[in-house]
Structure 1
Amino acid sequence: MSSTQSRPTDSIVLTGLRVRANHGVFDFERADGQDFVVDVTAWLDLSVAAKGDDLGATVHYGELAEEVVAAVERDPVDLIETVAERVAATVLAHEPVDAVEVTVHKPQAPITVPFADVAVRIVRSRA
């Protein structure tokens, strides 16, 4: 998507994908694992798929969900920022997708004060 193009208004949204994985800076996070919750918004033009009722002209959201989960489960890393980048790359590998927003929540983050959520959010495009 060029800098003069705006983001498409159509999107596929996956919310609340729960994944058990071993990411984190601390040894106990890597050993015990924890739950992560991932939200993905993939921006793409859905008009061709809608007009032709053609799954081949869009992204299969069921398969995309499985790919996102697999991306989060593999290769433990220290930062959820890295996990978010990995998920964004997975989504952008689908040619119809022009841009993606990824939020990775870490509800069991090792924080010493009460909290409702910890998350990182990134937006990437096919620039």
Structure 2
Amino acid sequence: MTDRIELRGLRAHGRHGVYDFERAQGQDFLVDVALELDLGPAARSDDVADTVHYGELAERLVAIVTGEPVNLIETLAERLAEACLTDPRVDGVTVTVHKPQAPIPHEFADVAVTVTRRRP
């Protein structure tokens, strides 16, 4: 059984990027997370202590996005996935990091990187 908790469109201002101006000015990043876990215990108990609290998860993820800068959104996505997997109830996670203001000299809708990680 694979149940999911999804958090989509989490927005935070970070200073990630290869270029100096990206680090100096920063930009908004959007994060989508899908956690794979057994939601049966929480459904039966109706107690938030038996599930991943998505408000607390959002706080941890925002702290990473607004924290130490990295060059690549691939690295950022990996850090976010690692943070999700620190909860032993989470069997796997898919993280997408969107960089809608990426320094591309052409009109585009979005740039995104997606990583999927599972507990070993």
Regarding TM over 0.5, the answer is yes
Q: 1: CA distance between counterparts of 2:21 and 2:64?
A: 21
- The yes-or-no answer on 1:31 pairing with 2:33 is no
Residue of structure 1 equivalent to 2:113: 120
> What's the TM-score, normalizing by structure 1?
0.92
The CA deviation string for residues 71-111 of structure 1, in whole angstroms up to 9 with x for no partner, is: 11111010000000000011000110000000000000000
Shift of 1:57: 1.5
Q: 2: CA distance between counterparts of 1:60 and 1:20?
A: 22
Q: 2: CA distance between counterparts of 1:92 and 1:72?
A: 17
Gaps of 5+ in 2: none
Gaps of 5+ in 1: 1-7
- Of 50, 55, 67 in structure 1, the residue corresponding to residue 48 of structure 2 is 55
Paired residue secondary structure (1:15): strand
Paired residue secondary structure (1:14): strand
Trace 1:76-87 onto structure 2 (pairs within 5 A): 76-87=69-80
Question: Residue type of the partner of 1:47?
Answer: G
Spell out structure 1 runs of 4+ moving beyond 6 A. none
How many residues align? The count is 120
Shift of 1:9: 2.2
Q: 2: CA distance between counterparts of 1:42 and 1:119?
A: 18
Shift of 1:55: 1.5
